[in-house]
Amino acid sequence: MTLSPKIYQELPSQTAGPYVHIGCTPQTAGLETIYGGSHLGSKMINEKTLGTRISINGKIFDGTGTPIKDGIIELWQADAQGLFNSPAENRGEPDRNFQGWGRQPTDILTGEFHFDTIKPGRIPYLSTSKLQAPFISIWVAARGINLGLHTRMYFPEEVEANSEDPVLNRLEHQNRINTLLAKPITDGMYQFDIVLQGENETVFFDI
């Protein structure tokens, strides 16, 4: 019997909570034995990973300036050579000791998140010869967010690369680029806060 194809309408999205931690970071919910005792994406680097080690700390703030304490943050980035640990990577051999992806919950008491990773190399913009500035892709999920939010973290010391970056140059409101720049705290440590609404709202990308 031949079935006729049907076009279905998109269903409404649901928010991530209140049980997002049970599925994504079960150790946070007290389920210590799942995934061998550490949630997927909890460790991005090991002792053999190439590149400059960095740490990223931050919080997610809602429209009232209150830290969100039940959120999930995911990072995706290139390695120090600007290559991705992916079967689709055809520009060279990526660092197999670098996962390239990480996931952390916000702390249930403070709202803080923390990642240990490496500073990424530059990658081409789409299929052009233009290079993007070093950046880290970030995905945010939390209660009240129907679809995960996509943003980027750039490095303030990369002044020339940032000025040439094709994505940053496409932003309509150039004065908001500062919402995508991490704040250096100490050597190798950055603060990157994400603001969901309001005057200082972080730039989010529709991808």
Q: What is the pLDDT of residues 71-111, one digit of tens each?
A: 999 999 999 999 999 999 999 999 999 999 999 999 989 99
Above 90 in pLDDT, residue 145? no
Instruction: For 49, list phi and psi in degrees, rounded to 5.
Output: -65, 135
Q: Are 193 and 201 spatial neighbours (Cβ–Cβ below 8 Å)?
A: no
103 close to 38: Cβ distance less than 8 angstroms = no
pTM, 2 dp: 0.88
Question: Which of 7-11, 49-53, 88-92, 191-195 is predicted least confidently?
Answer: 7-11
What percentage of the chain reaches a pLDDT higher than 70?
90
Per-residue confidence (pLDDT) for residue 6, from 0 to 100: 77
> Which CATH superfamily includes the segment(s) 20-195?
Aromatic compound dioxygenase (2.60.130.10)
20-24, 76-80, 134-138, 189-193, range with the lowest pLDDT:
20-24
Tell whether the model's pLDDT for residue 204 goes beyond 80.
Answer: yes
Q: Which two tokens stand for residue 113?
A: 């998140």
Kind plus residue range of the DSSP H or E element containing 20: helix 20-24
User: What integer is the mean pLDDT of 203-207?
Assistant: 93
Nearest to 139 by CA among 53, 41, 64: 41
Q: List the alpha helices (DSSP H) in 67-185.
A: 159-164, 166-169
Residue 5 pLDDT > 90 = no
State the number of CA atoms in the 13 A half-sphere of 50 facing the CB.
12
Exposure of 196 in the CB half-sphere (CA atoms within 13 A):
22
What does DSSP say about strands 72-76 and 194-195: parallel, antiparallel, or unpaired? unpaired
- Location of structure tokens 């973290």: 153
For 107, which DSSP code? Answer: P
